[in-house]
Structures are given as C-alpha cells and as structure tokens.
C-alpha cells in the first residue's frame, strides 16, 4: 500500500513538471520578452554631441567604380583608387589626372620620390606620377592579401592580411625582412587578422606602427623588426575597440595622435599617441549600417579624409 502511494505521488509530481515545461516552451516563448543578457548596440551608437568635435566641410565624388583606398602626398595631392582606375585631385578637390589599372588596388601610397605604390591582391605595382608602370614586384605568396603600404626614403613596408605578416622591402622591391611573426622570446605576440583589415603607418619619430586588429592593439617596431612598445584598448565603449578586428584603418595627425576607423560600430575617432581616447570625428549616425573599409588620409592642415565606400564619396572633416 505504501509503495502504491509513493508511485502515485511520483506520477503527480511528474505531471506537474511536464505542465511547467509545456508552459515554458509553448506559452512563455510566444510572448514578446526581452533578453536581459542581450547587449544593446543601439546604446553604443548614441554619442554625446559634445564629444564630436569635427564637422564635415566638403566631399569629393570620384569617377570610378568601387572606391577602395585613399592617400595624400606631401604636396596635398589626393590619390583615390578603386576597381579600375586611379584618380588624382588637388587640395581643392579638382581632378588633375587619372589612369586605368588592370585589376583592383586594395591600397595606395606615394613614395618620397613621387612614385605611386599600388597594393594589388598579392603584389606591389610601382607607377610613375603619370601612371606609367615602372615595375611589378614579385609576389611573396599566392595566398597574400595586401592591405596597406607605408614608405620612407629607404624602405617600403607592406601589410599582408593573408599571411598575417609585414614585409620590409628596400625601395627597389628587394624583400629584406618579415616583421611581426610570433616570437615569445622577443615578446612579439603575432598578428591576429580574422578579416582583410590590417593597417600600418610610419609614426612621427620615424618608426613603424602596425595595427594588430584581433588584439585591438597598436604595435611599434624599429626597422630591424624589434618590437619597441605597444598599447591595447579593448572596449565596446568609445575609449576602445571591439569586435573581431578593429580598428580597421588608421592615419596620423601632425601631433602624433591616431585617427582610427571601425567596422561593426561605424565610427571615426582620435586617440592620443599613448592610446587614450581623445575625441570623435564622426559617429555611427554618419554612416550607413554595415559600412566597412573606411580608409583614412590626412593633409598638411590636419584635415581628415574618410573614404565612404557605400556612398562612394571622399568625406572631408575639419575640427570645429
């Protein structure tokens, strides 16, 4: 008798559990409930207007398909490249010249001698100022994805997102060194490049700065490939970078501050030379959602040029 009571009680308890499971799956799930653990990106897109200290003053509409990259030379000439062409403008936005290219260029740089360095998919192409092909450098690897070029009087540095390395060439295209390969003994962490956004530049003290986007960090190397210093800012907030790989693009102001652009949260910001957040140039409201590849350039007056690939515009910002 006692065993029957226990069995009966167990069946009742089982039915109660089944009822609450049914209610949870088929009743509560039909209700419009908010997830308390869901991170609200909308809140991060709202930036205090007082933190935005730049204003858009002009635009250039380049006559080319799919604008990809921009650079500015020492004479403030603006070079824009895309799927099939390179166009050169003066600092007033008037077209000076243009020339066709056979394949898309992912990045562009102008050397101290005025030569145009184009980063094709897996190699560098050098052209004269008039667009005539001067040389084509041999590809290091068929899986290379060239994303950025920086140059000095002696060297050319090339970021390869495909192989996750920086190449150091002499000015004639001879490969000298690989920079940034993981080396725990030398304290080099190695580049984490989840997507083809991998930027670099020459800093105010003539050293190489490379973005390690998967770590949300900036790494400073000497020309022998030694890591000198680094700084990292990982945060969803304005003071840092988030997502798989940010910042996606960088540029340098005359005071050594870094202009950065991001994807995921589309925004352009400025960080001090030590990495601290300084100000906002343009917030997410300035760009269409999903915009990536906001390439950057700076002229001699510290005006900030942002290539907006969705709107196919060069957007020019000045400090208010």
Compute the Cα dihedral for 38, 44, 45, 48 and give only its sign. positive
Where do we find the tokens 């680094």? 230
Q: Which residues pair with 169 in a beta bridge?
A: 156, 175
What is the distance, to the nearest Å, from the Cα of residue 123 to the centroid of all Cα atoms in its chain? 20
Give the pLDDT confidence score for residue 130 in this predicted structure: 94
Query: Does residue 138 surpass a pLDDT of 90?
Result: yes
Give the pLDDT confidence score for residue 12 in this predicted structure: 52
pTM of the model: 0.87
Tell me the per-residue pLDDT of 201-223, one tens digit each, with 9 for 90 and over: 999 989 999 999 999 999 999 99
Query: Does residue 318 surpass a pLDDT of 50?
Result: yes
Q: Which of 205, 244, 277, 276 is nearest to 52 (CA)?
A: 277
CATH class of 46-319: mainly beta
How sure is the predictor about 42, in pLDDT bands with cuts at 50, 70 and 90? Answer: low
Where do we find the tokens 């167990």? 10
Domain boundaries, the chain: 1-33, 46-319
Read off the pLDDT of each residue in 1-19 and give the average, rounded to a whole number.
48
Read off the pLDDT of each residue in 57-61 and give the average, rounded to a whole number.
98
Give the pLDDT confidence score for residue 40 in this predicted structure: 54
Give the pLDDT confidence score for residue 119 in this predicted structure: 98
Read off the pLDDT of each residue in 287-294 and give the average, rounded to a whole number.
97
Give the pLDDT confidence score for residue 120 in this predicted structure: 96
Give the pLDDT confidence score for residue 44 in this predicted structure: 72
Give the pLDDT confidence score for residue 45 in this predicted structure: 78
Strand blocks (E) in 82-184: 85-89, 95-100, 107-110, 116-119, 124-127, 133-136, 146-151, 155-160, 165-170, 175-179
Where do we find the tokens 């184009």? 118
How sure is the predictor about 65, in pLDDT bands with cuts at 50, 70 and 90? Answer: confident
Query: Does residue 33 surpass a pLDDT of 50?
Result: no
Read off the pLDDT of each residue in 52-63 and give the average, rounded to a whole number.
97
**Is residue 170 a contact partner of residue 134, using CB atoms and an 8 Å limit?**
no
- Report the chain's mean pLDDT, rounded to a whole number: 90
């Amino acid at each position: 008798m006692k065993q029957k009571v226990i069995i009966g009680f167990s069946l009742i308890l089982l039915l109660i559990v089944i009822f609450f499971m049914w209610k949870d799956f088929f009743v509560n799930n039909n209700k419009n409930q908010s997830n308390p653990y869901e991170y609200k990106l909308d809140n991060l897109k709202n930036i205090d207007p007082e933190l935005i200290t730049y204003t858009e003053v002009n635009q250039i509409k380049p006559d080319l398909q799919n604008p990809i990259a921009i650079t500015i030379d020492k004479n403030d000439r603006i070079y824009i490249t895309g799927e099939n062409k390179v166009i050169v403008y003066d600092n007033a936005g008037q077209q000076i010249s243009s020339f066709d290219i056979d394949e898309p260029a992912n990045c562009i740089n102008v050397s101290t001698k005025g030569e145009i360095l184009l980063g094709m998919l897996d190699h560098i192409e050098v052209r004269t100022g008039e667009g005539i092909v001067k040389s084509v450098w041999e590809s290091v690897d068929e899986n290379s994805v060239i994303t950025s070029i920086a140059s000095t009087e002696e060297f050319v540095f090339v970021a390869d997102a495909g192989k996750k390395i920086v190449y150091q060439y002499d000015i004639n295209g001879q490969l000298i060194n690989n920079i940034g390969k993981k080396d725990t003994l030398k304290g080099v962490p190695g580049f984490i490049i989840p997507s083809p956004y991998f930027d670099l530049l020459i800093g105010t003290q003539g050293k190489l700065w490379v973005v390690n986007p998967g770590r949300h960090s900036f790494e400073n190397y000497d020309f022998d490939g030694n890591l000198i210093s680094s700084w990292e800012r990982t945060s969803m907030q304005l003071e840092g970078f988030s997502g798989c790989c940010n910042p996606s693009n960088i540029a340098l102001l005359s005071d050594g501050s870094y202009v950065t652009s991001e994807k995921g949260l589309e925004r352009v910001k400025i960080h001090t030379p030590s990495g601290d957040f300084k100000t906002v140039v343009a917030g997410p409201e300035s760009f269409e959602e999903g915009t990536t590849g906001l390439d950057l350039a700076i002229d001699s007056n510290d005006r900030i040029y942002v290539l907006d690939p969705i709107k196919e515009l060069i957007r020019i910002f000045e400090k208010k």
